[in-house]
Amino acid sequence: MAYLFTSESVSEGHPDKVADQISDALIDNFLAFDAESKVACETLVTTGQVILAGEVKSSTYLDVQQIAREVIKKIGYTKSEYMFDADSCGILSAIHEQSADINQGVDRASKEEQGAGDQGMMFGYATNETENYMPLALDLSHALLIELANLRRENNEIKYLRPDAKSQVTLEYSDDNKPQRIDAIVISTQHDDFAPEAEMLAKIKSDLISILIPRIKAKYPQYAHLFNDQITYHINPTGKFVIGGPHGDTGLTGRKIIVDTYGGKGAHGGGAFSGKDPSKVDRSAAYATRHIAKNLVAAGLCDEVLVQVSYAIGVAKPTSINVVTYGTSKVNLTDGEISKVVENVFDMRPYFIEQRLKLRNPIYSETAAYGHMGRKPETVTKTFQLPNGSPKTVTVELFTWEKLDFVDKVKTAFGI
């Protein structure tokens, strides 16, 4: 019997994502000037206010207020009527030094024996239902909001959009787990107060269906066949959405962990990513397990896979590695036997994850909106500025965990 599955996404202007982006901008600036920085930085945003808190061990000093303002300005909170404005919001920093008790469990005389920055379990997932090996409902949810943000910045076809938005896509799957069609799309977008409410809502719904959806179909032709005349659209279903962003809803770092990963597919260990340097396995091991999962599926080992790893704080070797192929394995091995082979192919000690994926670089701002997984690997040049210092320009690789650089090794290890 056919079934429905739903995933959601949120825009870069959603208050929780504003917080994530500020936290990751701080991570990038610390790593740009001190690659060995240890950082756990949390951000809270609310009406006219940003509060930064966390622990840092670094040789560099940053103007955290200026960094936060630049992030807020880039997102688009630049008008006083938003009640959260890059130039006028208050910014309070309560960042202090990292606990020596925690640091002694991470740093080792031999870097190879670097301990995990915390205990916990992390998951990576991949499926061959999309070209980027991501769940389709989440991929579409992200795409809707990326294109909506493009429309907002163009300020041409739709002129009333504000930064805060959410999306949700419901897909119908066949009995053999293949996506058949889009059943429902939900979009809530913040907007200017430009007309009586009924007129505004009708205009917004008409514009999103007639302008946004055709752009999605044109930009992602591989998904065009999923759109049909029977889709149920819920556009701003609560009514007008003028009050939004941090003024409408307090935002906190790390509250969108399902949006950040797989949209409810697979599993999640519970740890957030943003604001954490790569010694925190909540982040680095989640990237590493995604890297494993994607390469396993791309190598043809299975159609769908979930990879779990777990750690004890201060200990380098994982306490467990587990692979689940959901009965889609193409090799004559049990999932337990597959797990043992994977353990030999991918070194999951924290130091080796950092080296393999080049994680001690300022690569995290780009992850903080529209998902950490399923993104396109690319090399970019970024410039950072210290207070009263000269600019520093670095070239880095983004989304290294999305590279298919272990496919041949997987094929060799499994005799595919």
Per the annotation, where are the binding residues for ATP? 14, 164-166, 240-241, 249, 255-256, 272, 276
* Binding-site entries for L-methionine: 55, 98, 249, 280
Q: Treating both helix axes as pointing N-terminal to C-terminal, what angle do 15-33 and 64-75 enclose, rounded to 10 degrees?
A: 130
Residue 297 DSSP code: H
* Binding-site entries for Mg(2+): 16
* Binding-site entries for K(+): 42
**How far from the centroid of its chain's Cα atoms is residue 331's Cα?**
32
CA distance 144 to 154: 15
Residue 395: strand pairing partners: 381
* Binding-site entries: 14, 16, 42, 55, 98, 164-166, 240-241, 249, 255-256, 272, 276, 280
CA distance 82 to 86: 10
DSSP string, 98-127: PPHHHHHHH--SSGGGPPBSS-EEEEEEEE
CA distance 229 to 136: 19
* Helix (H/G/I), strand (E/B), else coil: 8: strand
Structural Rg of the chain based on CA atoms = 22
Structure tokens at 386: 């210290």
CB 103 within 8 A of CB 153: no
CB 33 within 8 A of CB 386: yes
CB 18 within 8 A of CB 51: no
CB 179 within 8 A of CB 136: yes
